[in-house]
Structure 1
Amino acid sequence: MRGEPESGTAAGQGNVRVSVVVPVYNVEEYLEQCVTSALDQTHEHLDIVLIDDGSTDGSGALCDDLAHRDPRVRVVHQENRGLSAARNAGLSLADGDLVTFLDSDDWWDPTFVATLVEALSGHPEAGTAVSGFVRMPGEASSMPTRTLRLYSVDESLGLFAGQHHTLLTISCAKLFRREVIHDVRFPEGRLHEDEFTTYRFLARAPAVLVPKHLYLYRQRPGGIASQTLTPDRLLDAVEAAEQQERDFRAWGHPAAAAWAGDQALRKRLRLIRLLASAGRTTEARQQETALTAAVRTDGELPHSLAVRALRQMARMSPRAAAVGFDLATRSRALIARAGSPGTART
């Protein structure tokens, strides 16, 4: 374990070129704050790639204006193809030694890049540096350490497959070495692109965690994080968890594979209920069949007793398991609300 880096940029580290991939779609109101936060970084050697993904407001013109103001900014305009395609386009153009992702309605603390560059420079074995983030408005992400710490691949995947899943899953609030990203690309047409992708970066090299909240994550109406949970979104989440389980099995990480399998099970049970409540009976039955097949390929993964019982129920009756899981979830939510501060009790 090594000490926390000082803010600023150490001698020689300022020469490290960092590519910043910024997908842009209809964020005229927030884009200037986002890009300005990148241009104002204490680490100045930046390659900022704005991918205008077919914006229909003034975002595209603002991208061009920002590029005219500072030669570190480049712009590509393309037809609307979605977040993954925009990130992939940025990756194909990025020429920095290190790469990071910044969503166009978010912004950075001025020391974000310098702090993560220094963390990677001090840990040459690490492929990823991870910062905490703050939801705006909202709370700061929890961190597994109070001091800068290097985590092995096994340890990083353990954090991913646990209470720090969101911190390790989002592709933003991280700085990657190019060789860690290499040939991995975000899946186009998916709604949970980070769930399919970021863990693959973490599996390639250790990660260094910086216990500072340097990424500001805007919560806004109409943003991706605020979108209603639909069957299509939930199906993507199921398939991402199943991909994780397969990969973790193949890579020899049984605990992470068990966690991913548990997530796939719970999400598919929710999906069955969501489809049934929407009157999409045929699709619900298809998911019941898929669930039955999934729980029969359990292997010897270290599931908890509660999950083993749920999987056994799903083998016997997927529909009953979905109903029971839904009722249990609702009951837990009611109990949590009843026990929260300020809640009236009768």
Structure 2
Amino acid sequence: MERISVIIAVYNTEKYLEKSVRSVMGQTYRNLKIICVNDGSTDGSLDILRRLQKEDSRIVIVDKPNGGMGDARNAGLKMADSEWIAFVDSDDFIEPDAFEKASHAFGANPDMIHFGTSVVQEEEFTYRSTNKKYFDIRFSGLVEIDGDIIMKSDVVIWNKFFRRSILDRYDIHFEDIYYEDFAFTLQYMFSIRTVYYIEDKLYNYVRHPESVMGRTYARSSRTINHMYAMRHVLTYLEQRGMVNEKNERALANLFAKSYKFTVQFVLPEQLPEVVSLSDALYHEYPFMQKYVVPTKENGNVIYRPKEKRRLVSRLLNKVFSLKPEFMEHCQIYKVMRIFGIVVFRKKRI
């Protein structure tokens, strides 16, 4: 049974911490190293970890000064001693058989394992499942990755297994930026060849006022960092020769989505900085201009994928198509489709 290193970064989550860690302790897959990194918590989180460690020798505690979630996860990575690495946020919990089901993919030798997520709304110490399509798994089994696959996958770290050998080979770690998991996951996904998708919802993301999702969809001074994280991804990939024709469309669309999200939730006084940064990236990487186009919406510049225009063109072409097709007896006809009605007209040959 192959070992899995599980990294739990902890900062002032005493309200949720025990449930989170116990969900890992109680996994039916037993060969785990549970690395809990206390990132300078000022509440009772460290005491909870020490108490749980007395119950389970698989728990390793790293106690360090506060340095942010990325720094805490990097400290956890240094302690990981297995090929497969998983992350659990200290206010979330996982299903009892989550790692056992994920381990069934080991035999397929994927570069990453990605499983489903339930978003759970906290309501006075009870939990209610909510449906968030962002976390829907759209694929099944072993999939060869490409730009389209990446665009249709979420970019959080905690519903995935990563390989230590790939992290080391491509020097992937958490940067000292907000949205560090966004950058980490994209760097990893653009560096690999295969992902094993599991549709089962094995991870429970707890949404509460202080959760990342709770803070993400609200105006904040931190939101601008989403664009800086996107810039970091582009720089990282360019330095490694990964900004190429295979990845260009996906990167351009990710840029457009990042910009739209940032404009929506950034503080008004930061908007000029967002526009300036995005304009610089748009012109620094000429391939952007092939796939996205700046337009005006409510007085703001928005980058829209050009493919939407092509989609409308293709749709109209399909609805009002007039093209030759071979029918039986090799007679050539013109076929016109109008709102699902197919009209045949014999063509002279």
- What secondary structure does 1:233 align onto? coil
- Give 2:233's match in structure 1, choosing from 225, 237, 244: 244
- Aligned-residue offset at 1:134: 0.3
> How many Å apart are 1:298 and its aligned residue?
5.3
Cα distance change on mapping 1:263 and 1:248 into 2, 3 Å: farther
Please give the root-mean-square deviation of Cα atoms over the aligned residues, in Å: 2.5
SS in 2 for 1:170: coil
Q: Does 1:308 align with 2:296?
A: no
Secondary structure at the aligned position of 1:185 is classed as coil
Deviations 1:107-159 (Å, cap 9, x if unpaired)?
1111111111111x2211x11111100000222531213xx3212131xx423
C-alpha contact 2:182 2:229 (8 A) present in aligned 1 = yes
Offset at 1:17? 0.8
Between Structure 1 and Structure 2, the one with more strand by share is 2
Distance in 1, matches of 2:31 and 2:274, equals 50
- Indicate how the Cα distance of structure 1 residues 239 and 111 shifts in structure 2: closer, same or farther if over 3 A, else same: same
Contact 1:270 1:322 in 2 (8 A): no
The DSSP-based 3-state class of the residue aligned with 1:31 is helix
Is the contact made by 2:227 and 2:274 (CA closer than 8 Å) also made in structure 1? no
- AA aligned to 1:144 is R
In structure 1, the residue matched to 2:281 is 294
Counterpart CA distance in 1 for 2:35 and 2:285 is 44
Q: Secondary structure at the match of 1:234?
A: coil
Q: State the 1:236 CA deviation.
A: 1.0
Opposite residue 67 of structure 1, the aligned amino acid is: Q
User: Which has the bigger relative contact order, CA under 8 A and spacing at least 6?
Assistant: 1
The one of 91, 97, 102 aligned to 1:116: 102
> In structure 1, how many angstroms separate the alpha carbons of the residues matched to 2:211 and 2:252?
31
Residue pair 2:6, 2:86 contacting (<8 A) in 1 also: yes
Residue 185 of structure 1 corresponds to 173
**1:258 aligned to 2:252?**
yes
Correspondence for 1:153: 145
Rounded to whole Å, the distance in 1 between the matches of 2:262 and 2:25 is 43
Match of 1:174 in 2: 160
* Residue pairs, 1:181-330, within 5 angstroms: 181-182=167-168, 183-188=171-176, 190-202=177-189, 203-227=191-215, 229-230=218-219, 232-246=221-235, 250-251=241-242, 252=244, 253-267=247-261, 269-270=263-264, 274-275=266-267, 277=268, 280=269, 284-297=271-284, 299-301=286-288, 303=290, 307-310=292-295, 323-325=299-301
**Partner in structure 2 of residue 69 of structure 1:** 55
* TM-score (normalizing by structure 2): 0.74
Q: Is the contact between residue 269 and residue 325 of structure 1 (CA under 8 Å) also seen in structure 2?
A: no
Q: CA deviation at 1:239?
A: 1.5
Q: Measure how far apart 1:18 and its partner are.
A: 0.8
Unaligned runs of 5+ in 2: 122-129, 305-349
Which amino acid letter does the alignment assign opposite residue 201 of structure 1? Y
Q: Is 1:142–2:136 an aligned residue pair? A: yes
Q: Is the 8 A contact 1:245 1:261 kept in 2?
A: no
SS in structure 2 opposite 1:240?
helix
Query: Structure 1: which amino acid aligns with 2:137?
Result: M
Gaps of 5+ in 1: 1-14, 314-320, 329-346
Say if 1:324 and 1:29 are closer, same or farther in 2 by CA, change over 3 A: closer
> TM (normalized to structure 1)?
0.74
Query: d(CA) in 2 for partners of 1:143 and 1:294?
Result: 30
Which of the pair has more CA radius of gyration? 2
